[in-house]
Amino acid sequence: MTTQQHTTMAQGGSGPGPGSDYAALSRRVREAGLMKRRHGYYVLKVVLTLGAAAAGWALFLLVGNSWWQLAVAAYLGVAFTQLGFVGHDAGHKQIARTRRFSYALGILHSNVGLGLSYGWWIDKHNRHHAHPNEVEKDPDMGPGALVYTLDQARVRRGIAKLWTRSQAYVFFPLLLLEGLNLHVAGVRALLQRLGQEAINVEPIHVRPNDVIDPDALLDTLIGFGYRREDLVEHRGEVARRGAIIARARLALRTGSRRRHTSTSCE
């Protein structure tokens, strides 16, 4: 059974409060119906997208050893992009309300349709949305083929430094390799070995009248494997509403790793 516990944070914490501008804007957006799920649209999109991908593979088999495979490859490129869009929307629970059905859609379109690790991607993407464009917190802001800050650029030497100087010119050509990069990153995450420190995680105890930093608590829970959502409905989810953080009790097992988090409210 999923349980929810609520802990009130110190009033000095940041975040949208009940009367904040963000809360008012959020209410207006929801009242206008802009956040309602469009089930009819997505039923049609899923059927057409899967049908288009299946047709592409059928063409691949029918064409055989021919230069016309270049045209088939271009067609499949468009179909694969649409599969990725559906997997992305499923990850945001934009298609279905339940986590189980959203997960099934994500696995179907990402793992089966694209060979892309949905589990790895959704964890990375949620951390990106939790800290968009925040250096050292947003995984998409880490240095790699590209750098995003002057501090990241200053530590580069040799060929890497020369490459960084020209990254504005090679950015768009590099996008042609992003699909390959996502596949490689998913495999690397699957093969990653965790140290003992990732297994021996101390539980978090929060008691009434404790004064804690809500941002730090939220970051810790996300680091433990919680997924940030607008509304807590299942195990492993956490949500923030102004000075209140709601979370579902979780014992998360990922491969050989097991993490326990608990909140004591005495």
- Look-up of token digits 């021919």: 66
In one letter, which amino acid is 38?
Answer: R
DSSP 57-98: HHHHHHH-SSTTHHHHHHHHHHHHHHHHHHHHHHHTT-S-SS
Please say if the pLDDT value at position 230 is more than 90. no
Q: Check pLDDT > 80 for residue 232.
A: no
Share of the chain above pLDDT 70, in %: 76
C-alpha dihedral, 23 to 24 to 30 to 32, nearest 10°: -170
The predicted-structure confidence for 5-43, as pLDDT tens digits, reads as follows: 444 444 444 444 445 677 788 888 888 988 888 999 999
Helix runs in 192-241, H state only: 214-224
Query: Which of 1-15, 68-82, 139-153 ranks highest by mean pLDDT?
Result: 68-82
What letter represents residue 156's amino acid? Answer: R
Strand partners, 245: 7, 240
If you average pLDDT over every residue of the chain, what do you get?
Answer: 78
Q: Which residue, chain included where needed, has tokens 């593979």?
A: 57
Closest CA to 248 of 236, 239, 259, 260: 236
Taking alpha carbons only, the member of 203, 188, 183, 193 closest to residue 254 is: 193
Of 83, 81, 53, 59, residue with least CA distance to 71: 59
Question: Looking at residue 95, what is its pLDDT?
Answer: 92
Q: What is the pLDDT of residue 48?
A: 97
Residue 87 has pLDDT above 50, yes or no: yes
**Residue 197 confidence (pLDDT):** 56
Could you tell me the pTM of the whole model? Answer: 0.64
The highest-level CATH class for domain 4-15+196-261 is alpha beta
Cα(109)–Cα(80) distance, integer angstroms: 9
- Domain ranges in the chain are 4-15+196-261, 39-130, 139-191
Tell me what the mean pLDDT of segment 102-124 comes to: 91
| Alpha-carbon separation of residue 139 from 4, 6, 122, 189, 255 (angstroms) | 28, 28, 12, 13, 21
Interatomic CA distance for residues 72 and 39, integer angstroms: 31
